[in-house]
Amino acid sequence: MDMDVDETCKAQAEEKPLLVILVGAPGSGKSTFCEDVMRSSSRPWVRVCQDTIGNGKAGNKAQCLSSAANALKDGKSVFIDRCNLDREQRSDFVKLGRAQIDMHAVVLDLPAKLCISRSVKRTGHEGNLQGGKAAAVVNRMLQKKELPKLSEGFNRITFCHNESDVVAAVNTYSALGPRDNLPHGCFGQKNPDAKVQVGIMKFLKKAPADAASSENSIRNSISPQTFEKQGSSCKAVEKFSSLSDNAVLKSKEVEKPAVRSGSHASHVSLDDVPTLAFPSISTSDFQFSHEKAADIIVDKVLEFSDKLGNARLVLVDLSHKSKILSLVKAKAAQKNIDTRKFFTHVGDITCLYSGGGLRCSVIANAANWRLKPGGGGVNAAIFNAAGPALESATKERAKSLLPGNAIVVPLPSRSPLFVREGVTHVIHVLGPNMNPQRPNYLGNDYGKGCKILQDAYTSLFEGFASILRTQAVQSGGRNEGLGTKSLEHSENSPRNHLTNTDQKMKRDEVHESEKRRKYKGSEDDFEIDFTHSRAGKIDIKEKKAVASTHKAWGSWAQALYHIAIYPERHKDDLLEISEDVIVLNDVYPKAQKHVLVLSRTEGLDCLSDVKKDHLQLLKKMHAVGLKWAEKFLQENASLSFRLGYHSAPSMRQLHLHVISQDFDSKHLKNKKHWNSFNTVFFRDSVDVIDEVSNHGKATLKDDDKLLAMELRCHRCRSAHPNIPRLKSHISSCRASFPAYLLENGRLVHAAAPAEAGSS
């Protein structure tokens, strides 16, 4: 795309208002959420609150609807600050959405005890819901709770289960500029069927009617340490940290075997408390003594564990046989370090969440002095996983690094690590070198080496502390990741030249607009199409087809497009390159063999863009996909393959999936993954070729209900309650495939391979 076209597209992009419906019980923090975002956001927001809609007094739903509609008409984004705990209450607000408005829900599904304690303690509430009556109201409302679903009409739903989730959501919406969009989908949902949180009924049996006795009941229900920490003021109760949440409701702790198997912590909650994952500095390529390094790690963790509040530190290595992990684990146990605040973990530091469910908002990189990609080990892995965005962001912060120092780099939102893993910052740290083949060799001087390594870990942990302080300031001081003691220490630190910069940093990078972002048609055209649809009484399926052709692709969905346009930049990752197509492995394969055949035609973003003119390209893609399927069958004749397209792909640029039917993959994790390949949402390539040949377009099956269907075996069609049970079944199921798959070459197997262009 040349610069003139690029600028034209940018000029055509208009501000797209958001309508964000807050969902949560009284005391969940809806009003505070709105105020925090509106205080720091550059996007124009309007808060619509029923408690104050009537000139500062309580009003009704109709007034809220009218106020929201007027604000949206003026191009402003809107927060609907009501409880909205059931679908019926939300439905009228959802109807306000139209083609040029993004419909979001933010669900503040915090522990019931926390909501009740806040409601009981507060005074001067806008809706006068406070004191002893609040407990009964919260209980009654939570019993009728219906969590929102995308099928209601939302583009995006964010679930917040603790204060760390809330802070992350506040930061996300605060960082949105007027023209920025967020990825669509459902984020953070844990248990969609939960109606009343565990333990609430037992708790409420003790709740008396008057405020004073209610306060005592709540105080007795929560650990004394929590109340000592929080104090008796309303503001203190509002500041419950996620650590307090864990103390209140142990049942909220989530145990994920994938993480527990590699961690020495036996009772670690995987709630999203601030977490720094770091490798052992200097013990690999720099050949520092493991024994001495382990002592320094444990001493520094012990020094910082209390100063970091409820934040966690995680030492990560790739191997279960790691010597440094074993040493640190044993030494940490000897010093009785709290395993909720520090533990070791076996895994790849670049995919801790996607590979095992361990959320780490910050990761450390064992960098080289030039702060450059390349080399090997952790440095190469992190730069590769983060993409060019990390190198660019690093250059803006520093060009070199001295041993014993660290530099904090905010990770731009276009980085795959940000999108896939939720990593917001990378901290580059450089330790001492005991390898004569590397720069700054210390000649086996461990006196000097130990001092430098101690400084390196101090700089690293202080960098993490600076991030927590910045987030606390941005969230109005509610994040209790740091205690007062920590703040005093950091202000007096000799390395404050590193952290002061980080305290002041602005996250402008977080939602940078992509230079090459483009919209398929202007928003005016979008509105016209829908106006004509209403006038002509076109059904909802045709409206969805129109919407698909005008989809605005966020920066996170552009990866395949950039590979198609600039394959020379990615040649090491590609299996095949030709003038028309590219073949590459799916980054998150859903089966033993899963490759993508990617069209190189610019402007052909997805199946809805395909016309009869593209028929030869479709046949070429099918032929290439078939060639690779047959190649895999020569290696393993027991496999079977399907070739097809998703009706509504999440990634821009038309691509054909070639996927084996074993579905044996750690990346196949949820119902959406399964149903996107095993319902009519997945369109077989031969059928698409037939339809385009005969009708000039493919039939799209873009329906959220398809992805939410029950889990059924793709062979025998038996139903299963969850993915683990389904995987266990399909690993042994030997039923023949359904008859329709055995027709027209839809199924490719060793006995009777399908032929390209069978249409």
Mind telling me the catalytic residues?
655
Q: Which amino acid is at 493?
A: S
Q: Residue 554 and residue 538: Cα distance in Å, rounded?
A: 28
CA dihedral 407, 412, 417, 418 (to 10 degrees): 110
Please, how many CA atoms are within 13 Å of residue 67, restricted to the half-sphere of its CB? 20
Q: Residue 740 has which token pair? A: 């329709």
Q: Residue 478 has which token pair? A: 């509610």
Edge-to-edge strand list for the sheet holding 77-81: 45-49, 77-81, 18-23, 102-108, 156-160, 185-187
Q: Residue 276 and residue 316: Cα distance in Å, rounded?
A: 10
Is 307 within 8 Å of 485 (Cβ atoms)? yes
Q: Which of 735, 586, 573 is nearest to 649 (CA)?
A: 586
**Quick one: 592 exposed, middle or buried, by C-beta within 10 A (0-12, 13-18, 19+)?**
middle
Is 611 within 8 Å of 601 (Cβ atoms)? no
Q: Residue 480 has which token pair? A: 């209790």
Q: Residue 123 has which token pair? A: 């005074």
**Can you state the angle between helices 523-535 and 540-549, rounded to 10 degrees?**
170
Q: Residue 166 has which token pair? A: 């809330």
If phi > 0 it is left, if psi is from -120 to 50 it is alpha, else beta; for residue 204 that is alpha
Q: Which residues contact 83 (CB under 8 A, 6 or more apart)?
A: 23, 24, 25, 26, 30, 89, 141
